[in-house]
Structure formats: structure tokens, C-alpha cells
Amino acid sequence: MKKIVLSWMVIGSLLLAQKVTQIKFEGLAHLSPSVAMEIADIRVGDQMDAAKINQSIKNFFEQGYFKDVWVDKQGGTLIYHFKEKAAIANLEIKGYGTGDDGKKLLKSIGLKKGDLYDEARIKKAKKTLISRLESKGNYDSVVEVTTTPVGKGAVSVVFDVNKGEKIKIKKLNFIGASELSKGDLETGLANQEEDFLGWLPFLNSGEVKVDQLEYDAYRVKDTYMKHGFLDAYVSKPLMRVDYSSYNAEIDYQIKEGAQYRVGEVSIAQDIDGLDSEALANELSLKEGRIFNISKMRKDMKMLQEAAGNLGYAYAKVLPQMHKNAEEKTIDLQYMIQPGMQVTINDVLISGNDSTKDRVIRRYIYLAPGDVFNATDLKDSKNALGRTGFFEKVDIQSQRISADKINLLVKVKETATGTISAGGGYGSYEGLMLNASVSDKNIFGSGINASVGFDISKISTNYNLSFTNPRLWDSLYSLGFNVYKKKYEYYNFTQDQFGGSLVLGREFLRHFHASAGIGYVDNKSEQNDNQIVSSDGNVTFYDRYGFYNDKYKKTSLFFNLSFDNTDDFYVPREGMIAAVNFEFASLDGDDFNATVGSGEENGYGKFTKTSGKFGLYYGLNDWIDYDLILRFKARATLLSSGDNEKLPIGEKLYMGGIGSVRGYDPYSLTPLADPNDLNSRIGGKKRASATVEASIPLSEAAKMRLAFFYDYGMIGEDSFNEIKRSSAGAVIEWQSAFGPINLVFAKAINPEDADRTSTFEFSMGTKF
């Protein structure tokens, strides 16, 4: 036996003494032979070593490309054989949903097309899917995985999802709560009781969000902290599920403690130029008020921004809280740690493929060499968003030394130009042809220009406009437009040629003032179709001379506007306000004002004053949902002398987008004859207001859904002669062709003379 062992040892030593003369690789696709040689870590000329060969096989398995690896030895030649894993040629999830949810889910499972098929990764992806479903409130979910060969060396992987059942929260129990109501405590929770008709927008469906349960306890605690209960204890939620009905109750154990009021409030800082007394007057939390953690955070942010406005970009505000349990008060001292004052080293811009750097720099209020200013940084981001050139704007600070930073301006451009051509046929308009070219940012210069035409059986419309918002990169703007339009209404044909030239200037950052001149040559005339008046003798329009207006108008324009919103198309914060004045002089033929009066009145002068106001407020920070509230208002007033004629084309009308939706555009107006619905003569006073709530529909498609209520008034002598309201919904789409609004409206209080409309759409409108 010993002799045999010895002989094997001799043979083994002879094998080990043999050298590697050649290395071959068979079955490789993902690795080149040179890379494979590096992984094997065996070279020609090395001694044959069984341990090194085994280690080389392990090295190959660690790459993750192979199902199997083995080695043959033929003399001094090592032959590595590989069976590679199949590549995933197609990856699909069925039964979960499409659109944004499906795309997000694919990203979350850790697999993508082109990855190698691996059983362990597939199992992990399946587990992730089930966890994701449970986090959405789906229980007893089943996920089946099907693989199908696709060609040679590739497979198609399909995850077939059966979502299971949704668990609904039927009851929340805040055990021990007495000082705060259940409604107060439930507000802001991710998991709330199911509302009646909970499937409607803005109502709670009651579906469990398991991944948010542990955070809901902190939200309840935060609610108590907002009401001064600093010692409140809130347990982790206990969810009890009835799996026969998939209904659940959630219990929170609560110990409220005492309510605290604010005692002394002070600010400790040693920054030159920072007035502690003035800052203390701006604080939300003041002595004697009930303590509120959210107001304290707001005060900390304000103090941090105040320090940032003096160049301290990395200032920290630390609240020191001293409780007095006997007095039930809490003293606050805000410690401002400024760090070093920093200056701007450089402004680095990226992401702008079309827009020139100099155009972007116009809207950045910080330049190399400037002392950092937090307000300037915020205003710069908002100003870039208001241009409408970018889908996304982000400005970050990059610290390069103790006292210098770079500003990294990252933008993602959006489509600003459109080229359109089309046509159609309408029962009234006949064959229609149209074409236009427009760009808000032509050639990346920041200039807005457009040219287009519309032609149909009853209309022709040509227009050309040009606006440079920053003339020669200054604060001045210059714009002009020229148009020629002719439109055949039922009662008259409007025929106008006109244009305007406007010069403006930005000042105080958010304000813009402009002045300009305008000219209109109006040759409108009454159509041949005559409507007999109530006396049966004289046609109504012959009697009053309506719609036969032929005049030339010269105008002076003055405008003052304010805009500090954060985005051009979908603002989530800020305000828009503007007031416009037009002083017009008319030159035209006289007309008879009243039948048989013999008084000759002519065109003269009139003043048009109009204003608009808009407020925008996003609730994402409050409710973790991109809900935007909007309030918009408009008003216009025409003033003229007692003996001066105002042409029909200059009067005011209401209805449609921009005033009261749900009524035909320009259909709401005073009537010259109450018995004649066609005697619409326009008003001199008009006002409207809108309340809107906008929610996201699809982030990928840039679509939102807005619900609205409109209210408007119009009249000849007073605003409230005609009052109308409506409600409805709008699909807001930031399409490649520009912003498109699809309006579905319902007139609330129409009268017999009103023409209502349930659907209309617009392109390119703002405000």
C-alpha cells in the first residue's frame, strides 16, 4: 500500500513539474481572450498547478457571465470550456399596469434589457415585485416568471403579476388622544380611513401603504409638536387585518403630555451686518404663542437665508430649547453658526444644447467675484424657470476652497419651437388651411418670433411677431407685431390691418414696464343678411348702424407687470400681476346715434384699463403630493366721452377660455334689443375670476388634470348686469407642439339667450 501511494506521489510530482505550453478558450462571447487570460492569471511557461487551475475557474464564475466552466488538459495545453448565460432580450411586466407605474417598476426590480439571465437575480426581482405590491396595499399577490428563448443565446423574461387583494383601512384608533381631534391627527397621514366615495379625486381611497406605516407614527408626533405637545409619545402603529374581507384597523397608543407655550426667544450670532433685533421681529414664533415645530423650522430657514444673503452659504442655525415643566413654557435661542463668507469663483453651465450660455447668464443674478447671496440664488432659479426654455433647472454650489464656490447651473431644455401645417373642413368655415412657425427661443438666442396664416371660406389671417426680451443683453425689451385679418361673422365681416411696437425695461428684478404705439385700420361692414326688427319695418342693423364701423385707431400703450413665479408653464409658487392702459384715438365717419334724434356723433377717444392677478401655491411640501392651487382674476374697463362712439369691435365680450368657460367665446354681452338674441353690442365693464386645483396625470407625458370654477360679470353701465359661472376640468398637456389645454366645462346658470359649450381647446396660452 505504501508503494502505491509513493508511486502516485511520484506521478503527481511529475505532472506538477510539467509546464503550460498553450492556453485555449472555447465558448467565449462576452470576454476577449486577452481579458480571459488576465482573469485566469495563468501564463504560458507556468508550472501546471491544480490549485491555480481551480482558482482560475472560481475567478471566471465570479464574473457572472457563465453557467458552467471546466478545464481539459492535453499535454501542456489547458483548454477552458465556457457555457455562457443567456442575455435578456426582452423584459416585461404584465398585470401591474402601464405608463409611468410600469416604467418605474421595471427600474426598481434591478433588471434591464441586455443583462445576463441569472436565477438568483430573477428570484430577487420577483421578491422585489411582491414587496412593492405589498407596499401599495396588495396582499396575497402572486408573481409567475416565464422565460422564452429568443434566437441563440438570448431569452425573453415575462413577470406575470396577479396583484391580489387591496387592504382597506376602515378605522383609525388614536388610543389616549383627547386634546387633539381625530381629524387633526389623521391629516397628513399616508394611511387614512376610507372616505365615502373615496375613489373620487382628492378623496382618500383607504388603501394601505405599508411602506409608509412606520413613518405615520412620526407624522402623528409631528402634529402634536405643531400644537405645543412637546412630550407627546406615539407608538408604532399596530395594523389588524381581517383577511376574509381585507379590511383593517390601525391602532396608535398615545400619551399626550402637557401643552407648551413659547417663553423667551433670542438670536445668538456675531455676523457683521446682521440685525438680531430686526430678525427677531420677523420670527413666526413669538413669546406667549403656542409652540409650533413647523413655525420653528420656518424661522430657522429664514435665519439661514438671512445669513446666506451676507455671503455665508453654509451657515447653520441650531435651536437651543429649554423647557420649563412647571410654567409649561419653552425658551428658544437660535444659534447661528455662519462658517466662512464665500464668493463665487465661477458659474458653470451644462445641459444647454441649443440655448446660448450668454442667454442663461442673463437670468443668473450671481457672477464670478460676487459675494454669495441666498436670495439671488433662489431668484436665479425661478427666473430661468419663467423663461419657458427649460423643462428642469437646478443650481447647486460646489465648494472648491474654504471661501470660494462654483455655481453649477444644470438645465434640461424643452421644446420651444413648433412648425405646423394642416387643414380641415367645417360646416360654417368650409375648407380650412393653416401653417405657422414659432419659437420662444429662436436659435437659442432667447428671441420669440412667429409667422403664420389661416385661410378658410370665411376668413383670412396673416400674422408676424418678434420680441427680444433682452435687447443686446440689456434689461430692455423690444417687440413688434403686424397682422391682417378678415373674418365673416353671421351679422358682419370684420376686416382689420394693424400692428404695434413696444419698448420695455425690467427693474427691481420682478417688475417690467413697457410703452408702445399701435395702429389699426378697421373696415368692418354689415353683411347682406338682414334681420327685421320688432316693428316689422326697419331692419335692426340699419336702424342702429351696428357693425358698419370704418375707422382708424391710433393707440398709446402703457404696461406695468410683476412676476416672481418659478416656472413658465406650471408655476408652483409665486404671483403674477399686471395693469395695462390703452389711450386710443379713433378717426372715422359719423353716424346716427338714435333713430330720429338728428344728433350727429363721431368717433373720438377712449381709454381701456385692464388688469390681471394670479396666485400659485404648490402643496407638495405639505402633503407629499404635487397638488397645485391657483387663483386668477381679470378685469377690464372702457371709458369714453358721452358723445363719442365706441365701435363694436372695441367693446368687451365674455365667454370661453380666459373668462368663463362653458359658454361660447364672446357670446356673453349686453343686448341692444332684449327680444333680439343677435343684437350683441358688447359691454364696457368686465371682470372674471377662476379657482383651480391641478394634479398630475402622467409625468412622462407631461400631462396634468385641473378642476376649475369660473365666475364672470359684464355690463354696459355696471359690472354685474350679466353674471355667469361654470365648472369643469382641463387636461393640461405640455406637448411637443406647445402647451395644449382640453377643456370640459358645464355652464352652471345659463339663460335662454346664452350659447353654451361643453368642450373647447387652446394651444400656447398662459395664465
Q: What span, in angstroms and rounded, lies between the C-alpha atoms of 345 and 407? A: 8
Please name which of 568, 572, 575 lies closest in space to residue 446, comparing C-alpha atoms. 568
Q: 3-state class of 721 per DSSP?
A: helix
Query: What is the grid cell recorded at 169?
Result: 383601512
Contact 365, 376 (CB under 8 A): yes
Q: 3-state class of 150 per DSSP?
A: coil
Contact 609, 560 (CB under 8 A): no
Query: What is the grid cell recorded at 177?
Result: 388622544
Asked whether the domain spanning 87-162 has the same topology as the one spanning 14-84, the reply is: yes
Q: What span, in angstroms and rounded, lies between the C-alpha atoms of 285 and 298? A: 9
Query: What is the grid cell recorded at 454?
Result: 389661416
Q: What span, in angstroms and rounded, lies between the C-alpha atoms of 707 and 325? A: 49
Where are the alpha helices (H) located in 472-533, listed in sequence order? none
Element (H, E) at 299: helix 293-308
Measured CA to CA in angstroms, residue 576 lies from 3, 166, 190, 571 at distances of: 101, 44, 33, 10
Q: What span, in angstroms and rounded, lies between the C-alpha atoms of 405 and 401? A: 7
Contact 397, 408 (CB under 8 A): yes
From the candidate CATH numbers 3.40.50.720, 3.10.20.310, 3.10.129.10, 3.40.50.2020, the one assigned to the domain spanning 87-162: 3.10.20.310
> Which one-letter DSSP state was computed for residue 471?
G
Please, what are the averages of pLDDT over each run of 10 residues along the chain (767 residues)? 37 57 82 83 85 86 80 87 82 70 67 78 83 77 86 82 85 94 88 80 78 91 95 94 89 95 94 91 92 94 95 94 93 94 96 93 94 95 92 93 95 78 51 72 90 77 92 93 81 83 94 96 70 47 55 94 92 95 83 39 82 94 84 95 77 89 87 73 93 88 92 93 95 80 92 85 65
The beta-carbon contacts of 228-235 under 8 Å, at least 24 apart in sequence, are 228/259, 228/260, 228/261, 228/290, 228/291, 228/292, 229/179, 229/180, 229/256, 229/257, 229/258, 229/259, 229/260, 230/257, 230/260, 230/291, 230/323, 230/330, 231/255, 231/257, 231/258, 232/256, 232/257, 233/257
State the CATH architecture for 167-255: Roll (3.10)
Domain layout of the chain by residue ranges: 14-84, 87-162, 167-255, 261-337, 343-413
Sheet of 142-149: strand order equals: 87-94, 154-162, 142-149
Q: Domain 343-413 belongs to what topology?
A: Ubiquitin-like (UB roll) (3.10.20)
Strands 66-74 and 138-139: unpaired
Q: What helix, strand, coil percent values describe the chain, rounded to 5?
A: 20, 45, 35
Q: 3-state class of 507 per DSSP?
A: strand
Rounded to 5°, the CA angle 690-693-699 comes to 130
First to last CA, the chain: 99
Q: What span, in angstroms and rounded, lies between the C-alpha atoms of 616 and 632? A: 9
Please name which of 571, 653, 663, 584 lies closest in space to residue 617, comparing C-alpha atoms. 571
Please name which of 764, 743, 560, 605 lies closest in space to residue 665, comparing C-alpha atoms. 743
Q: What span, in angstroms and rounded, lies between the C-alpha atoms of 274 and 317? A: 14
Buried/exposed 247-285: b ≥16 CB within 10 Å, e otherwise: bbebbbbbebbebbebbebebebebeebeeeebeeebeb
> Which one-letter DSSP state was computed for residue 623?
H
The confidence score (pLDDT) of residue 547 equals 54
Q: 3-state class of 453 per DSSP?
A: strand
> Which one-letter DSSP state was computed for residue 447?
-
Contact 422, 456 (CB under 8 A): no
**pTM for this predicted structure:** 0.68
CB neighbour class for 200 (10 Å; exposed up to 12, middle 13-18, buried from 19):
exposed
Buried/exposed 25-54: b ≥16 CB within 10 Å, e otherwise: beebebbeeeebbeebebeeeeebeeeebe
Q: What span, in angstroms and rounded, lies between the C-alpha atoms of 195 and 204? A: 5
Measured CA to CA in angstroms, residue 761 lies from 553, 571, 757 at distances of: 31, 20, 11
Q: What span, in angstroms and rounded, lies between the C-alpha atoms of 756 and 663? A: 4
Element (H, E) at 242: strand 238-242
The confidence score (pLDDT) of residue 593 equals 39
Strands 165-166 and 138-139: antiparallel
The confidence score (pLDDT) of residue 228 equals 95
Q: Which CATH superfamily is domain 14-84 in?
A: membrane protein fhac (3.10.20.310)
Q: Domain 261-337 belongs to what topology?
A: Ubiquitin-like (UB roll) (3.10.20)
Rounded to 5°, the CA angle 231-233-239 comes to 165
Map 330-373 to HEC letters. EEEEEEEECCCCCEEEEEEEECCCCCCHHHHHHCCCCCCCCECC
DSSP secondary structure string for all residues of 672-714: SSTT-TT-B--BSEEEEEEEEEEEEEETTTTEEEEEEEEEEEE
The confidence score (pLDDT) of residue 537 equals 47
> Which one-letter DSSP state was computed for residue 564?
-
The confidence score (pLDDT) of residue 382 equals 93
- How many CB atoms neighbour CB 114 within 10 A? 10
